[in-house]
A = this chain, B = another copy of it.
Amino acid sequence: MPFRETESLLPSGSYYFSGNEAATEGALAAGCRYYAGYPITPSSEIMERIAVRLKELKGVFMQMEDEIASICSVIGAVWAGAKGMTATSGPGFSLMQEGIGYGAFTETPMVVVDIQRAGPCTGQATRVGSGDHQQAKWGSHGDYQVIALSPWSVQEMYDLTIDAFNLAEQYRVPVFLMGEESVGHLRERMDVRPKVTVFDRAKKKGTPPFGMVEEDGVPPMPCFGEGEKLLVTGSTHNDAGIRKTDDPLVHEKLVSRINNKVLNHREEIIQTESYYVDDATCLVVSYGFTARSALYAVNKLRGEGGRVGLLRLKTIWPFPDQVIRVLGKKAGKIYVPEMNRGQVAGEIMKYADCDVVPYFQTNGEIIDPRTIINQVRSLA
């Protein structure tokens, strides 16, 4: 069984961590032993904490010369056997896009934490935004898939970072923890359980590391120094890793598989939560920090007798198309408050067979629950 129960690194109990500290501990709990990064607000606390913690745990911490070097060095370490991570914010995430494409195409498990701030560009570096979700899917050229998770609390910065590592290893894919400044810097009670479930990389000597009979399969992954004489390349390659830069069949097969191995396993990957959706005539769809404003608002409105429900997306990519389709049809109206200009609302429009009403806010501040209350009232 590739999943395994292991002792928690931290003594079980309650802690008062910031989201960034929680993500660091989640990574370590999941087995992360290589981190490379570059300072950037509001994610730097992750780097600062993991520098100390990896030393204690005999892992490797590297502060690199930039974000490009950071993600590349993580990929190098992962192929040398590490579970690896980097963390950054928007500008660094933009610089990492070529490396992310390499990770996706070489099926390198890795975790990238993006603590989002108010963009675009250097925008407002110490203020909150949630504007990198479409970039997470489309930031590198060509067609590939990733997994992106959206934590709403400090607890989830811990839990979903563990999930991120497990999904990365299980599907051999880059996984993004799309935190927001308002979660990264939030301090909350966070509970550590005595056991952590981790996924151990599947290995199988002598089997091709880049190909499967199944068109959506995930091949086992050997690593450097095991005598496998691996060929890893970001160019089109056959099952063994040999470059095939003008064979149409090899290219189609590889591109299909790296997309389908994620898309065809949507059901297993996607996590959502729903509240009061059964009789709702207006469905609020939300994620990240905003979902806390949204749940507060929905609770209030329900208290007033409003038939409003909430669907919270913990997984943003692959996109939860099916639940949107079903719940949208049931409610007849979807309201999407976002700290960006409708990035997830646009995605919902692809799948929902009903009115989709986006609310944009790009002012560097979180969305106040009272704003949502007022807007949903006016929709009814």
**A residues neighboring B (CB under 8 Å):** 90-91, 93-95, 97-98, 101-102, 104-106, 116, 118-127, 129, 131-132, 134-135, 137-144, 233-236, 245-246, 248-249, 251-252, 255-256, 258-259, 340-341, 343, 346, 349-351, 361-365
Q: Judge whether A143 and B127 touch: CB under 8 Å.
A: no
CB-CB under 8 A for A246 and B364, given A121-B101, A124-B236, A234-B121: yes
Q: Judge whether B101 and A94 touch: CB under 8 Å.
A: yes
> Hey, which chain B residues are within 8 Å of A90, CB to CB?
141-142
A256: nearest residue on chain B (CB-CB)? B362
CB-CB under 8 A for A141 and B93, given A236-B123, A341-B255, A362-B256: yes
* A169 vs chain B, min Cβ distance (A): 20
Given pairs A125-B235, A249-B363, 13 additional interface contacts (CB within 8 A): A94-B98, A94-B140, A101-B119, A101-B120, A119-B140, A120-B144, A121-B142, A132-B141, A134-B137, A135-B139, A252-B361, A255-B341, A346-B350
Q: Judge whether A251 and B123 touch: CB under 8 Å.
A: yes
* A114 vs chain B, min Cβ distance (A): 8
List 3 A-B pairs, minimum CB-CB distance, nearest first: A119-B142, A120-B142, A90-B141
Give this chain's copy count: 2
* A272 vs chain B, min Cβ distance (A): 20
> Hey, which chain B residues are within 8 Å of A119, CB to CB?
101, 140-143
In whole angstroms, how far apart are the Cα atoms of A263 and B119 in the complex? 18
A260: nearest residue on chain B (CB-CB)? B341
In whole angstroms, how far apart are the Cα atoms of A97 and B365 in the complex? 25
Of B98, B121, B235, B349, the residue contacting A102 (CB under 8 A) is B121
> Hey, which chain B residues are within 8 Å of A361, CB to CB?
252
CB-CB under 8 A for A245 and B125, given A94-B98, A118-B236: yes
Of B118, B135, B248, B256, the residue contacting A140 (CB under 8 A) is B135
> Hey, which chain B residues are within 8 Å of A139, CB to CB?
94, 97, 135, 138-140
A134: nearest residue on chain B (CB-CB)? B138
* A351 vs chain B, min Cβ distance (A): 8
**Residue from A101, A127, A346 with most neighbouring chain B CB atoms (10 Å):** A101
**Residue from A125, A246, A343 with most neighbouring chain B CB atoms (10 Å):** A246
Of B140, B249, B365, the residue contacting A120 (CB under 8 A) is B140
Q: Judge whether B245 and A126 touch: CB under 8 Å.
A: yes
A105: nearest residue on chain B (CB-CB)? B121
In whole angstroms, how far apart are the Cα atoms of A72 and B131 in the complex? 23
- Some 10 contacts from A to B, beta carbons below 8 A apart, are A90-B141, A97-B139, A106-B121, A120-B141, A121-B235, A123-B236, A124-B251, A143-B343, A252-B363, A256-B362
